[in-house]
Amino acid sequence: MTHDSHARRYEQRKVTPKENRVATSAMIASLAAEGYDTEPAPFGHALVELAKTREDIVGLSADLAKYTDLHIFANAYPDRFYQMGMAEQVLVSAAAGLAREGFTPFATTYAVFASRRAYDFIAMAIAEENLPVKIVCALPGLTTGYGPSHQATEDLAIFRGLPNMTIVDPCDAVDIRQMVPVLADHKGPVYSRLLRGKVPSVLTRYKPDYQFQLGRAQLIREGKDVLMVTSGFMTMRALDAAERLSKDGVDVAVLHNPTIKPLDRATILAEAGRGGRLVVTAENHTIVGGLGEAVATTLLTNGVTPTFRMIGLPDEFLEAGALPTLHDMYGISVDGIVRQIKGWI
């Protein structure tokens, strides 16, 4: 008697011939974006800056301070940092306790472990009480080739269902640096995705006066043929794809929407309602329950019905491998976006 759910699935795997093999980048620390400057550890440095004037800020991590850039804060304020060990449940429960005593905790781990392991503790100890705990998580969506154990492909869907939770999916170093004080000022709980290490600076190149605003989507690029509504690093990819498409005469607007919840319905409705453009959402997340479905619901329930398409990860456990290979394979690379949009227009 053995189970056969995946028994011998390994026998169906083909091994790539030698000449075509690509070294994996499963262990990468930083997300690459060609042609952009980078900033080191924008989250860690912004938190240190904020902590200078905010005595209530404390930091906690579950054995991933170094891997979420929180070590910068830990080094600057060792007595305001709690190393909780690899124990994500008590990480968030203790953050709830600190918030009850008047502190503003920033708790970090990987997105998979906050959304999967610690979820019940976040739901009841933090969200139900509407406590100001800021959960900031590295490795969002498909940002490691390490396989499903580290690929947080459904974190936004999980947290979207949670009342009181504000959800942020920042694009770049600019968003991350600017969001830190805003999240601290916000009265309730926040779940934010994080890019760590050397993080590309993108938004100010296209919009020099860009300023992160919680709950607001902002038009980064104008275009008359296609409106892309994007979040997270998919905004960078969309901006690069828009450049490429413009050379083929396709004019693409990019509406960057870093706040997944509450959604900036007014801006999305206004932009989507503006004349005959194909509307395409793009997210580093499963197409189930993320930005795409949130936008679709908003449009449909308000009677705005442009031609609508979604770019996102499939409803599957994803492969392990080199990140560029995987981004191409699942259609969230610049090439992937260009290919899909060309197929739709």
Partner 1 sequence: MIEESRMAPVSNVSLERRAWNIRRKALLMGEVQGQGYIGQALGIADVLAASYFHAMDYRPADPEWEGRDRFLLSIGHYAIALYAVLMEAGILPEEELETYGMDDSRMPMSGMASYTPGMEITGGSLGHGLGIAVGMAMGLKRKNNNAFVYNLMSDGELGEGSTWEAAMSASHHKLGNLICLVDFNDQQADGKSTEMLSAEPVVPKFEAFGWHAQRVNGNDLAAVVAAFDAARAVTDDRPRVIVFDTTMCKGVPFLEQRDITHFVRVEADEWSKALNVLEEGKPA
- Contact between 113 and ligand TPP (CB under 6 A)? yes
- Contact between 147 and partner 1 (CB under 8 A)? yes
Q: Total number of residues binding partner 1 (CB under 8 A)?
A: 48
Q: How many Å apart are CA 161 and CA 138, to the nearest integer?
A: 20
Cβ count near 164 (within 10 Å)? 14
- 115 neighbors 123 (Cβ within 8 angstroms): no
- The residue number with the shortest CB distance to ligand TPP is 63
The secondary structure element, H or E, covering residue 241 is helix 234-247
Radius of gyration, CA atoms only, the chain = 20
Smallest Cα–Cα separation from 106: which of 189, 39, 8? Answer: 189
Q: Which of 147/262 has CB closer to ligand TPP?
A: 147
- Contact between 276 and partner 1 (CB under 8 A)? no
- Contact between 29 and ligand TPP (CB under 6 A)? no
Q: Which of 120/248 has CB closer to ligand TPP?
A: 120
What is the footprint of partner 1 within residues 12-71 (CB under 8 A)? 13-16, 18, 21-24, 26-27, 61, 63-67, 71
Among ligand TPP, partner 1, none, partner that 220 touches (CB below 5 to 8 angstroms by kind)? none
Smallest Cα–Cα separation from 29: which of 69, 87, 84? Answer: 69
Q: Which of 68/298 has CB closer to partner 1?
A: 68
- In SS3 terms, 154-170 reads as CHHHHHHCCCCCEEECC
Smallest Cα–Cα separation from 114: which of 102, 100, 127, 98? Answer: 127
- Contact between 107 and partner 1 (CB under 8 A)? no
Smallest Cα–Cα separation from 285: which of 111, 113, 153? Answer: 153
The secondary structure element, H or E, covering residue 239 is helix 234-247
Cβ count near 124 (within 10 Å)? 12
Tally the C-alpha atoms within 13 A of residue 114's C-alpha that lie toward its C-beta: 38
CB of 117 to partner 1, least distance (A): 7
- Contact between 204 and partner 1 (CB under 8 A)? no
- 110 neighbors 139 (Cβ within 8 angstroms): yes
C-alpha torsion sign, points 216, 217, 218, 224: negative
Among ligand TPP, partner 1, none, partner that 7 touches (CB below 5 to 8 angstroms by kind)? partner 1
Q: Which of 21/342 has CB closer to partner 1?
A: 21
Cβ count near 10 (within 10 Å)? 7
- 103 neighbors 56 (Cβ within 8 angstroms): yes
CB of 19 to partner 1, least distance (A): 12
CB of 194 to ligand TPP, least distance (A): 15
- Contact between 64 and ligand TPP (CB under 6 A)? yes
- Contact between 63 and ligand TPP (CB under 6 A)? yes
Q: Which of the stretches 85-93, 125-133, 153-161, 293-301 binds partner 1 when contact is defined by CB under 8 A?
A: 85-93
CB of 16 to partner 1, least distance (A): 4
Q: Which of 22/266 has CB closer to partner 1?
A: 22
Q: Which of the stretches 3-11, 32-40, 98-106, 219-227 binds partner 1 when contact is defined by CB under 8 A?
A: 3-11
- Binding interface with partner 1 (CB under 8 A): 1-2, 6-11, 13-16, 18, 21-24, 26-27, 61, 63-67, 71, 83-90, 112-113, 116-117, 145-150, 320-322, 325
